[in-house]
Structure 1
Amino acid sequence: MADRKTVTRQTFIGEKGIALIERRCLEMGHLFHPRRVDHGIDGHIDLVDPDSRAVLNMTLLVQSKAQDRRFSGETDDGFHYLCDQRDLDHWLSGNSPVILVFSHPGSDEAWWVEVKAAFPDAVSRATRRVDIDKHTQRFDRDAAQALLRLAMSRTTGLYLRPAPITEVLTTNLLPVIEMPSTVHLAPTVFADYRAAGDALEAQGRRESGWILRDKLVLSFRDLRDSPLRVLCDGDPERHETREWADSDDLDTQHRFADLLSRTVQDSYPELRWHKNRKHMHFRATSHLGPRKAGRGHGSRGRTVFGPHYSKSDPQRVGYYHHAALRTRFRRLDGVWYCQLEPDYCFTTDGYTEYPFADRLLAGIKRLDRHPAVRGWTRVWANYLRQEADLFTEARPVQFGELATMTVERGIDDRWWGPAPSGAAPEDDQDPSAGGQESLDAVLAVADADTQDLLSLLQEGESGESDDGAPRRRSPGSKARSAGLRTPRQGRASGARRGR
C-alpha cells in the first residue's frame, strides 16, 4: 500500500487546546472564533453582556499553548513559560489585549494571562518569561468577569509603532553542517586516557578522535579496522549518529560533545592541544618563521605563529606567539554548534611555554577589545571551514558560516557620542595595588618588547608588515607597555563597542 499522509500528534494536541478554549468561553457566556490563518494569534473572543446577552463589540485576541507534557518548572502550584521574541513583539505592538491560554487538554485544565500585564516594562520584556499561578489563573467560568474588565480600556485610540531599526548580529557560533553517519563503540578495560594512550603507542601509533566513558571506547572511526581495535575488549557496535546527536539525555549530549571536540582536534595537523591551557594552538613552523592563516570572507587572515624580538637586542627572539582557540560544542534548537573563544599562547622555542606567558596574557587581555575579538573569531571560523584539497582528506566534521541573527532592536549610530569621563569599565581596572608597575617590572626583567604584543590586536589594520610578520620595533624606539591603558578610541563619537 502506498504511503498515506498522516496527522502529527502535536496537531491533535493543538486542536484539542482550541476546542477546550471554545468550550470554556461558552461556559463563561462569551464567543470564541478560531482563525483559519495563524500568525501568532489563534483566534479572538467576542465578549457578551452577562445580563442582556448583547454582543459588546469588544474583543480579546487569544494565543493557545497546549501541551500533553508538563510546562517548564511545572508543579502543583504553577509553572513558567519563555516566549519567543518575535511573538512577544507581535502581541505587544497592537491596540487589542492579547491573552495566552496554557492548557493540558488531556486533563481538561487551562490557565491564562494577559500579555501586557505580564510584561509591563523593559526589564520584564527582556526576560521573555511569564509565570503562571495555577490556583489564581484558571481559565474557567470564574474568569468571565476578569475578561470583561480587561477589554474595557481606560483610553481609546490606535497606537502605531515607529518603524523598527533592525541589525544583523554575528555570533561566535559555528554550525556543524556535516558529521559521520555512525558512532562506533566497544567495551574496554582501560579506565583512563594515559593507559589507553600507552597501549596505542606500544603498537607504534598515536591516535586521537576517541573518548573513554563508562568502560566504553567511542569513536566515529570503525573500531574493527583501525588501530583503536587494541582498546576494545569485545565486539564493537555501530549506532546511528542521529541517535546521539538528537538525544535529550544530558549525559549522552555531553558524551557526543566530547567526541565532536576530540574529533575536530585530530582533524587539523597544524594545531596542537595544550593540556594545561585547555586550548588548541597553531604549531610552530619548521623554520620558526611566521605563519599566516584564516583568509576568507570577512578576514584578510592573520599571523597565527610568529617571533617577537627582545627589547635589548632586536635581532634576538624573545618569545613566539601562537594563535589559540578554546571550543565548546553545544546543541541549540536542534543544531550543533562549535562555540569559538580566541586565546593566545606564548613559547620560548615554539614548544616550551614562555616563563612570563601569564603576564603577557594579562597584558593582552587588558588591551583586548571587540574589534580584535571579532577579527580573531573570523580568522578561526575561516580556518576551521577550509575545504579539503588535493593534499588533504575531507574532514569528518565540517562547519558552515558563523551564525547570524537579525534583531528588531537597534540604535541609530548618530545617537552615539563620547563616553563620560571616568566611565572605564570595571574589567579595565587592575585589582592589585601597583598592578601597572609590577607588570612593567616583570616585562623588563623578561626583556620583552611589548610593541609586537599590540600587533596581535591591530594586525590587519596597521600592525601588519608586508611579509605578514609582526612589525619589529626599531632600535632605540620607545616600547609600549602591555599594561599601558590606551585612550578610549572605541568610545569616540561614531564608534562603539560590539553589541
Structure 2
Amino acid sequence: MSKSNRKTHGRTARVERAGVLHCARVVNEMKHVWRERPISDVGIDGDIEIVEPATETPTGRFLLVQVKARSAVDQDASGNLKFRCTAADLEYWLNVGVPVLLVIVDVEASQAWFKNVHEWFNGDIARRRSRNVVFHPTEDRFDASAADRLLGWAVAESGLYMGPAPQPETLFSNLLAVEHRSDSVFVAPTKVRRWRDANDRLREAGLPPVHDIAWRDGLLWSFRPLDRPPLIHLVEGAMDRLATDELETSHADDDQRLLVRLLGGTLKELHRSDLREDERHRYLYFRATQDLAAWRIKVGQRGGKGREVFGPRLDQETGTRPVYYRHSAVEHQFLLLEEGWFLALNPTYHYTRDGQRPSRFAADYLKGIKKLEGHEAVRSSVRFWADYFRGDVNLFAEPDQRLRFGLLANVDVDHGIDDRSWGKLPQEGPKAEPQAGSLLALHEEAS
C-alpha cells in the first residue's frame, strides 16, 4: 500500500480524543456518571448524570458537555482563558433543553476548565455578540473539587431547563454567516502553478475542471482529500491533513489569504452547475439556459413563481426580438470578523448579447436598473442570494462538510434583540435610494 493511500489518525484527532478522555476521567473522579455520545460533530460530546453524594445513587438529572481540546491554551495577563464559540455551536447549545457545559482541555498540561453556557450568556447581549467565554484559572478548574458545583445545574426531575422567552424579531443584513467551514484542510506537493496546469491535467484524465483548490510554495491545498479523484491527479506526493484553525488563527497574512481563496473556490465548486464567474468584474452570475428561455428559481419558504435569474429583454417595437439577456449576479467577499466568518453579498447584474458574450452596453444597463431599484428591491435580492447559498434542508442527505451558511447577520434571532444595544439607523428621505456598493446596511423587521 502506498503511503498516500494509508489511513491516518492525525494530530488533531489525537488531541480531540485526549480531551474527551480527560473529561471522562475527571467526571469519574467526581463520582458522577459520564456517557460519551456515539455520534460526533453535532455540538455535544457526552452527558453527565448526577450522582447523589450521600447515597451514591444516580439521580436521573443530566448535564450536556461539549469538549474543546487544545495542545496548549493561551492566557491573558491576569491568567484568564478565553474561547470564542462558533455561531452554529452557540445557537445549538442555547436552544437545547438541558444546560450545556463547555469544557476546555489543555491536553499537554492535563488540565481543564469549564463554564455553564446557559448561565454565562443568559441575558447578556454583549457576551452573545462576542460569543466569547472567559474562564477563571482557579475558580473554573474542571477537576474533582468541582463536583458539587454541578448539582444545582442539572435538569430537575420536574421539568426541562428553558432559556429566555423568544422575541419575534429578525435582523437582516447583507452579511451571511458561515455556519460551518471544513475542520480540516488537505495539503500535498504539486507541480501545478496556474489554473491552466490544473485544468490540462484533469482534462487528460477525462475529468472536468475544479475550483476548490489553491496552491502556494509548491503545495496544493483543498478542503477535499487529495488522495482520491479528481484531485489526486494534481499532486505528486503524500497528503497531509491540517486543522483549518491553524490557518484561521495564524498571524500571517498569507495564511489568511490562502483560507479566503479556499472558501471562495469552494463556494464556486458547490454551485458550478448554476453559476459562472466574470473574471474581469469578480462576481458570480447565473448561466444562460440552453434554449435562452427565462429561468426562475424558488428558494427558501417563499411562494409565488420564484425569482427570474436569467432571461431575455425584448425590443419595444415588436416585443419578440431579444436585445440583450440579463443574469442575476452577486459580488461576494469572505470576511473574518470578531464574530466569525461572513460572506458579504452585494447583488448586481450581468448582461450578455447572446447568453455568453458580454454586452457592450452592460454599464449603461446596470446604471439604469440601479436608479430604478429601491431599498426593498435591494433587500429582496440580498435575501434571495442568502437563501440560495444556504440551500434547502434535506433530512435524507448528508450536509456538505466543506462549507455551509446560516442566517443573515450575526444575531441570535430566536432570543430577540435589545434595541437599546443598537445605534439608530440613518433616516432615509422619501426618495432615498440604496448605494450600489454598500455592504453593511442593516434592516430590521418583525417576523
TM-score range (shorter-chain normalised) is 0.5 to 0.7
Deviation at 1:424, TM superposition (A): 7.5
Q: Paired residue for 1:3?
A: 26
Q: Is it true that 1:387 corresponds to 2:392 in the alignment?
A: yes
1:72-95 CA distance string (max 9 Å, x none): xxxxxxxxxxxxx988xxxxxxxx
Q: Distance in 2 between matches of 1:13 and 1:318?
A: 68
1:74-119 CA distance string (max 9 Å, x none): xxxxxxxxxxx988xxxxxxxxxxxxxxxxxxxxxxxxxxxxxxxx
Q: Paired residue for 1:254?
A: 257
Q: Is it true that 1:242 corresponds to 2:265 in the alignment?
A: no
Letter in 2 for 1:13: S
Letter in 2 for 1:3: V
Deviation at 1:271, TM superposition (A): 1.1
Q: Paired residue for 1:325?
A: 330
Q: Distance in 2 between matches of 1:385 and 1:298?
A: 14
Q: Paired residue for 2:363?
A: 358
1:280-338 CA distance string (max 9 Å, x none): 11111223222222532578641111111012321111111110111111112251111
Q: Cα–Cα, structure 1 residues 198 and 417, in superposed 2: closer, same or farther, change >3 Å?
A: closer
Larger Rg: 1
Deviation at 1:237, TM superposition (A): 1.2
What aligned pairs does 1:34-183 form with structure 2 within 5 A after superposition?
169-183=171-185
Q: Paired residue for 1:472?
A: none
Letter in 1 for 2:364: R
Q: Return the TM-score normalized by structure 1.
A: 0.49
Q: Paired residue for 1:276?
A: 280
Q: Cα–Cα, structure 1 residues 404 and 389, in superposed 2: closer, same or farther, change >3 Å?
A: closer
Higher normalized contact order (CA 8 Å, seq sep 6+, divided by chain length)? 2
Query: What SS class does the counterpart of residue 400 from structure 1 fall into?
Result: strand
Q: Paired residue for 2:234?
A: 231
Query: What SS class does the counterpart of residue 360 from structure 2 fall into?
Result: coil
Q: Paired residue for 2:212?
A: 209
Q: Cα–Cα, structure 1 residues 285 and 418, in superposed 2: closer, same or farther, change >3 Å?
A: closer
Q: Paired residue for 2:352?
A: 347
Q: Distance in 2 between matches of 1:313 and 1:226?
A: 52
Contact 1:168 1:404 in 2 (8 A): no
Match of 1:189 among 161, 178, 191: 191
Match of 2:382 among 356, 360, 377: 377
Deviation at 1:400, TM superposition (A): 0.6
Contact 2:375 2:433 in 1 (8 A): no
Q: Is it true that 1:399 corresponds to 2:405 in the alignment?
A: yes
Query: Structure 2 stretches of 5 or more lacking a match?
Result: 1-21, 31-68, 81-123, 127-168, 412-416
Contact 1:199 1:230 in 2 (8 A): yes
1:8-41 CA distance string (max 9 Å, x none): 87487068xxxxxxxxxxxxxxxxxxxxxxxxxx
Letter in 1 for 2:409: A
1:140-199 CA distance string (max 9 Å, x none): xxxxxxxxxxxxxxxxxxxxxxxxxxx964221111112333211112222222222222
Contact 2:299 2:391 in 1 (8 A): no
Q: Paired residue for 1:219?
A: 222
Q: Distance in 2 between matches of 1:306 and 1:321?
A: 6
Query: Structure 1 stretches of 5 or more lacking a match?
Result: 16-84, 88-166, 429-495
Please give the root-mean-square deviation of Cα atoms over the aligned residues, in Å.
Answer: 3.8
Q: Return the TM-score normalized by structure 2.
A: 0.54
Identity among equivalent positions (%) equals 32
Letter in 1 for 2:78: I
Q: Is it true that 1:289 corresponds to 2:293 in the alignment?
A: yes
Contact 2:339 2:410 in 1 (8 A): no
